Chains A and B, each alone.
Chain A
């Protein structure tokens, strides 16, 4: 039985784009309902797929829901899709964010037709990255994502939007151009673009040093994740992007970097990864501490959340390059957790901005009186972000640190972990301080008239809360699957 579920998940948003595009002068209402229904269909299929996912021991190390068709025979490229335990949580994360990002944009009035086309295209391309098992296809989707994000930031953004969009474009292109060189070199060493075949074969090459290959591949992912010192595009892009784009950017797009590192760099070149893990872990720790410290000083709400992302993605990098099965699972879960939590935080910032027309912490105070529902949800997101038990944030950080602390593959992991844990403390500091400044204190008269969240906003934000709580209370729903995905990779490293 082959229903081509993955193709449906990826291409339903594209069908939605075609429907929107051919409609002559559709109203804003029509467009958003079409976008919502296609995003929702994609989400429901991905849930069905998650339910049908084979969790038995014999499925470990195998791709599921595979599709393989010859695509460009001349260079041996296939249209090859498939998911395993590593990618399926990210697929669900993206389809979920696809639905809520349409809901978050429910009130958009500026050029709605184009706006929803770009949102759907963004969703398709990110899904394509997570599902591709062919390097050419992977690269194609990887590059495709640039175009919608560029337009979303530069047309619907705010502030220095054109500068931010250009910076994003150039940073990503620099990374992906090195990646292209890396992918082509891989092809000439191994004569295949097939990711399943590439994982675990021992690569030897007289052609270029494997270290060079490793760094060619990782630069693109490091920019995306982002890894200190390549993170400077992120605050600009986030701050100036429209809310839905920020949600997807923080929620799913950054995860392409972490996913790529695990799938390409660690799986293909485990020995090089072990060799350079101390370097990467050092960068991770710098990212965690520096990101958290810079976050403290932010006065723009969006910029604050953006810098907190730099810090939190440091955990992911640490988990990946601790190169231990538990830490890898932790990193994968941290990607999912950061996706929903920061997605929610950006959605909440967007709501606060919509109501009060400011993101400046110095102009906000005592909003708890005026918008009680928003306060509750925002606080849940903030507490989840600092790792409160009962939320997915706690589970993810706990597994990551437990794994990296116990790792014996890399020397000195205990020290790295101990330094990184201080990030959690600082996170608690800036999150609570931010919540206090925005929501508590004296209510300002100028915000007396502001409305609380309406029905659509409640649906989108409460669904985030549901996911955060559900996985936080019963993490096995994801960790079982993730473990299946990282077990074969951990075996490659020999741990």
Chain B
């Protein structure tokens, strides 16, 4: 019964209720400090419901539209966690908006709902609809500052996003035309019994697959669909940049993993063919991201290119997953682990950047000179996150890289891993440039840079997690191994 199945989307429903509640409360309450508290409570309630569903692994609801599996639930929790951290980091930043603070939180939560549905969708139509829900919310959020760069960023994101959506939709339509179905498992059934061998012999399949990868390539910022990233990251309100680089990207990877594994995972010729496409894109993505990052002077643009590079490392994992004939659960858990530690690291870094920019009102790396003297704690935390992004111990970043490269070497992608490790060396150059500027050189002013307690809390959580995962990853590896369970495989 449909009504019985409503319980499977309780996290989304509860989050929606809180989003609407915030809009209403915003109308009547003058003390806006209550709004972030409500958002955090909403996210925690949704997380509570999500955890409650954990035991139900591997079923689908609403006529195969939504899957309830550990894979999706894990990403829902990751999205909710980043929502909480982003809200905590926004509490001072929203003062820049003057108006519409309630809407800011509500739209942020709506986009989270979209992403949560996206990671559990198992039908091309649900995938498209939830993708649009999250994207449209994000278009609004990116232009929330309403100044020149923010509006330009929003418009750019909207236009390029719309093009990407159209490409994706076209790919989905072609796939539907070939297989006669939009359900991922039904598509998989078609290929299992299909007479086609080799995508090259079927132009319809080849075009459809390439267009779908291209559509999601926009979401995860893979080359050559990465052009929007630096401008949007620079122009958007910084908490939204953090959200884009973490929650939106994690959901993008989750859904592309799910589509490739469920719909195009069998037979062997099929997954080997998309693996090659992804491997080449991965090599390009990390190289372009890292090399362009070398010359950036704005910290948000730097992180934009850095997030492109990190997406490249993740795609190494995706390619390895495609190369694996069977037993690729370890590689999948590697991807999940990397996303998990990347999310914590990048969010932490952005929270530190937000705290610093609240005070100095600048995103220029040059203005970070002497930050080690003005705020040793913030600079220390940012250093830790940069070390983790470089992939050095004792941080989560190193373990994540070893884990994902491990899987790739296992699948014979040694050439790709060599490119990836050389890229890690290049990345050290620009990550440590920021470190150097913060700790060496005299500060322009003696003003201490401090922050509010929600920001400190969020920052402390990220720092502790990054170090704990880096030193004792056992428990988290166990968690990500549990999270590989996917509906339909």
Q: Residue of B at shortest CB range from A125?
A: B393
Q: Is the CB of B392 within 8 A of A144?
A: yes
Q: Is the CB of A74 within 8 A of B333?
A: yes
Q: Is the CB of B418 within 8 A of A181?
A: yes
In angstroms, Cα B424 to Cα A173, docked, is 8
Q: Is the CB of B474 within 8 A of A72?
A: yes
Chain B 422-438 near chain A by CB (<8 Å), digits 1 or 0 = 10110011001000100
Contacts of B417 in A (CB 8 A): 181, 184
Q: Which of B392, B405, B472 has the most CB of A within 10 A?
A: B392
In angstroms, Cα B196 to Cα A118, docked, is 61
Contacts of A185 in B (CB 8 A): 409, 414
In angstroms, Cα B405 to Cα A207, docked, is 16
Q: Is the CB of A154 within 8 A of B436?
A: yes
The interface residues of chain A, by DSSP majority, are classed as helix
Q: Is the CB of B409 within 8 A of A188?
A: yes
Task: Knowing A140-B393, A207-B412, say if A155 contacts B440 (CB, 8 Å).
Answer: yes
Chain A 161-188 near chain B by CB (<8 Å), digits 1 or 0 = 0100110011001100110110011011
Task: Knowing A74-B481, A144-B393, say if A184 contacts B474 (CB, 8 Å).
Answer: no
Q: Is the CB of A174 within 8 A of B406?
A: no
Contact of A184 among B387, B406, B422 (CB under 8 A): B406
The interface residues of chain B, by DSSP majority, are classed as helix
Q: Is the CB of A140 within 8 A of B398?
A: yes
Contacts of A178 in B (CB 8 A): 418, 421
Q: Is the CB of A73 within 8 A of B474?
A: yes
Contacts of A169 in B (CB 8 A): 428, 432
Query: Does residue A452 face the partner (Cβ distance < 8 Å to B)?
Result: no
Query: Does residue B273 face the partner (Cβ distance < 8 Å to A)?
Result: no
Min distance, Cβ A94 to any Cβ of chain B, angstroms:
18
Query: Does residue B399 face the partner (Cβ distance < 8 Å to A)?
Result: yes
Contacts of A173 in B (CB 8 A): 424-425, 428
Contacts of A151 in B (CB 8 A): 439
Contacts of A136 in B (CB 8 A): 402
Which positions 160-219 of chain A face chain B at CB distance < 8 Å?
162, 165-166, 169-170, 173-174, 177-178, 180-181, 184-185, 187-188, 207-208
Q: Is the CB of B393 within 8 A of A143?
A: yes
Chain A 119-143 near chain B by CB (<8 Å), digits 1 or 0 = 0000000000000000010011101
The 6 lowest CB-CB distance pairs between A and B, nearest first, are A177-B421, A184-B409, A144-B393, A74-B477, A173-B425, A140-B393
Q: List 18 A–B pairs whose Cβ atoms lie within 8 Å, in order of A's numbering.
A: A71-B474, A72-B473, A72-B477, A73-B477, A144-B393, A144-B394, A146-B392, A147-B392, A154-B436, A154-B440, A155-B439, A162-B436, A166-B432, A173-B425, A184-B402, A184-B405, A184-B409, A188-B409
Contacts beyond the supplied A177-B421, A187-B406: 8 A-B pairs with Cβ under 8 Å: A150-B432, A165-B436, A166-B429, A174-B422, A184-B402, A184-B405, A187-B409, A207-B412
Binding site for B on A (CB under 8 A): 70-75, 136, 139-141, 143-144, 146-147, 150-151, 154-155, 162, 165-166, 169-170, 173-174, 177-178, 180-181, 184-185, 187-188, 207-208
